Copies of this chain bind each other. A is one copy, B any other.
């Protein structure tokens, strides 16, 4: 029994990987479509692979240097855990992306048969990502946990590795995808008046590559770190909780692993459920089926959690807290959906009749307003889970509850870009417009079903940051972080500034790269004879390389900012100052992340809403204004917004890992 629980992460992770292999074959056995489709898909694959490999090269230089530092000043076990955590993240992102770039053409081909078939292929492609991320995350951290007997310090190394990769992948991928997207749209849609994904647009392939390296690989690395971070911090606080309550500390430390292990299994169940219920026919309701898969997995997980809570702690408080976390995540998801897909979006679309400026103003107002309810929910969730559990462990567990079934929620998230890409391929390969309609429908459904996943991600990020903050105060042994001390207040102020500076770097990177892209696309339109008439092929590779270089050069500074700030802070304003800084970054970062993601989402959907024929439809003045809104939203929602969530946690984990070392080395 004890062996099984201690190995629960490893066992579930291994089962998950086996299931992933099975899913992979299920995707690959599908028909990839005609020659043209395969050619396009290959171009996307080659571009994505080339970018990721370049990205990883730069990343590994930094990872290895940092590992050497950790090994020399602290322990080689920690250094190994750090590299291990980073490497599994890289593998998960790379593998998930590889399958996603193969699932896209297969989805397009399946769409020529039926909506149901296409849904299944795209979903399974996303599920490969979801399962790889959660299985490898749990397997890796579980292994470290088992062999080090729950050593918090070595686990923190693993978690930091995950955060490192996540930040680079999100920032690098985010810059790539949006530079390409903005560049493609600005000239293509606005100036040349050709539709999205038109093969005449030289930036099209880069745009599709971007979807894969940013929205798939980047998101994978992002959630890998959230998942690992939430389990790690819950495990550390669980151990403390158990000791305070006269329970064996090990059972407190292992509990989060058992919870997520079962979460992984229920996610598998959810994925199988979707596969069984979706029939290969036209007349299906994709939204309902995807929702059913998520809900079912969560409901079963709740039942199981109640049982294991009783076994571990002799009561149900832990289970109540986990369920609470899930519920709050779902409500935050609904709020997100409301602001990015319901009434506010219709109002936003209406304001587009008055021009681009009102669209921007209203969109920003929507995003800012959308911070209120999630923050209040997080506050309520924090206080309730703390009170119910009587300990910080409760807060960490609520965060774990949100991510326990990540396998299936991420599947639904990652399925969106696959459907989107499938649409791109259908367009470029000149398939029947009906195919594009189906993939567009799947993409649109994905946007709303993904809201739950986003709610989980936002909620858990905030709760995990809070749990990591608690861990930080514990490892550094500070008993209070008193805001009436000037250094703490100042730390909070500076911390609150960092997400703004960070966002500006990310936005500037997108803006600059997109500018270069725009010049290049314009140049090709002008200099390549017969391009607009579809008689000549554009130089796709040039655009891919512009996006690659821009992203690689510009992902470094924001990452350095995240790593160095707490270290510099330690020397200037001391430990409690850094603690204040972490709080400042968390609170302002949570706002900015929600604001930017939701403004971006609302603009995106307002454009789609108008394109569906409302407020004058495509080509109207309102449509033009909404395209500008959508373009502004791109770096908001896909570069800066999600990266801030990682910034918050990376700063916390760097502080947890590095500052005790600096303390030991003497100031």
Contact = CB atoms under 8 A, between A and B. Distances in A.
A632 interface: yes
A500 B357 contact: no
10 contacts: A351-B511, A354-B514, A358-B518, A360-B628, A365-B511, A368-B503, A371-B501, A376-B497, A378-B493, A493-B587
A41 to B, nearest CB: 29
Main secondary structure of the interface of A (DSSP, over half): helix
B484 A379 contact: no
Interface in A589-613: 590-591, 595
Identical copies in the complex: 2
B584 A587 contact: yes
Interface stretch (A15-23, A315-323, A475-483): A475-483
A75 interface: no
Contacts of A186: 354-355, 357-358
Contacts of A375: 493-494, 496-497
B470 A511 contact: no
Given A511-B351, A588-B496, A504 B365 contact: yes
Interface in A345-368: 351, 354-358, 360-362, 364-368
A182 B351 CA distance: 13
A190 interface: yes
A579 interface: yes
Interface residues on A, range: 35 or more
Given A361-B507, A507-B361, A588-B591, A355 B190 contact: yes
A583 interface: yes
Interface of A: 182, 186, 190, 351, 354-358, 360-362, 364-369, 371-372, 375-376, 378-379, 382-383, 386, 392, 395, 462, 466, 469-470, 473, 479-484, 486-490, 492-497, 500-501, 503-505, 507-508, 510-511, 514-515, 518, 573, 579-580, 583-584, 586-588, 590-591, 595, 628, 631-632, 635
Given A470-B484, A515-B351, A632 B357 contact: yes
B182 A357 contact: yes
B365 A493 contact: no
B354 A356 contact: no
A580 B483 contact: yes
Nearest to A492: B587
B361 A501 contact: no
Given A473-B484, A480-B480, A382 B490 contact: yes
Given A365-B507, A466-B489, 17 more contacts: A186-B355, A357-B631, A361-B631, A361-B635, A362-B507, A362-B508, A364-B504, A369-B501, A383-B490, A392-B486, A469-B483, A480-B482, A481-B482, A495-B587, A496-B587, A496-B588, A588-B588
For A364, A487, A635, the residue with the greatest tally of chain B CB atoms inside 10 Å of its CB is A364
Nearest to A370: B504
For A186, A395, A492, the residue with the greatest tally of chain B CB atoms inside 10 Å of its CB is A492
Contacts of A507: 361-362, 364-365, 368
Contact of A356 (B482, B487, B628): B628
A494 B379 contact: yes
B500 A368 contact: yes
A661 B590 CA distance: 33
A645 to B, nearest CB: 15
A250 to B, nearest CB: 25
Contact of A361 (B495, B579, B632): B632
B588 A508 contact: no
A355 to B, nearest CB: 5
Contact of A354 (B351, B369, B382, B518): B518
Nearest to A515: B354
Contact of A628 (B357, B483, B588): B357
Contacts of A379: 490, 493-494
Contacts of A392: 486
Nearest to A178: B361
A586 B586 CA distance: 14
A479 B590 CA distance: 28
Contacts of A505: 365, 369
A382 B484 CA distance: 13
Contacts of A487: 383
